[in-house]
Amino acid sequence: MLRAGASGIKRTGEWIVPARIRVKSSMGSVVLDFREAAIAHPIVDIELALGAGSAKLLLPDDASANVDDLVATMGAVRSNVVAKPTIGATHFVVRGRARLGSVTVRRRRGFGGLRI
């Protein structure tokens, strides 16, 4: 369980990803960067409970994500990641609610031949 009040939550770099992550934030923003993290599970379940903050999930290049059970009351849910699981790649299932913020799920962006 990751919790934040008015402050934000940020996980980046090398960290160990559990099979289930619960995030509660009343006002702060959330950044979960899985690109360099150690992921030992084929499916990672993420449950978001966001108040006025937004969330950004940065996935590895081969990962997929299902955001069908994620509701944004006065915000938006954006995902440019395929929803169908790929054999041998991690699949993220993102569910929960964002009341006044948005949720973005994406991979690295390409710019001038570079992946950022």
pLDDT of the residue at 102:
93
The list of the chain residues with pLDDT below 50 reads 112-113
pLDDT of the residue at 67:
97
In a domain, 115, yes or no: no
In a domain, 113, yes or no: no
In a domain, 81, yes or no: yes
* Mean pLDDT value across the chain: 91
Domain count, the chain: 1
Burial 56-82 (b: 16+ CB within 10 A, else e): bbbbbeebbbbbeebebeebebebebe
pLDDT of the residue at 5:
76
Q: Which residue range forms the structural domain that includes residue 56?
A: 2-107
pLDDT of the residue at 114:
52
pTM metric for this prediction:
0.89
pLDDT of the residue at 21:
97
pLDDT of the residue at 28:
87
In a domain, 114, yes or no: no
In a domain, 86, yes or no: yes
Question: Locate tokens 């993290």: which residue?
Answer: 37
In a domain, 44, yes or no: yes
Task: Please give the structure tokens belonging to residue 40.
Answer: 């030992």
In a domain, 116, yes or no: no
Dihedral sign computed on CA atoms, order 79, 90, 44, 16: negative
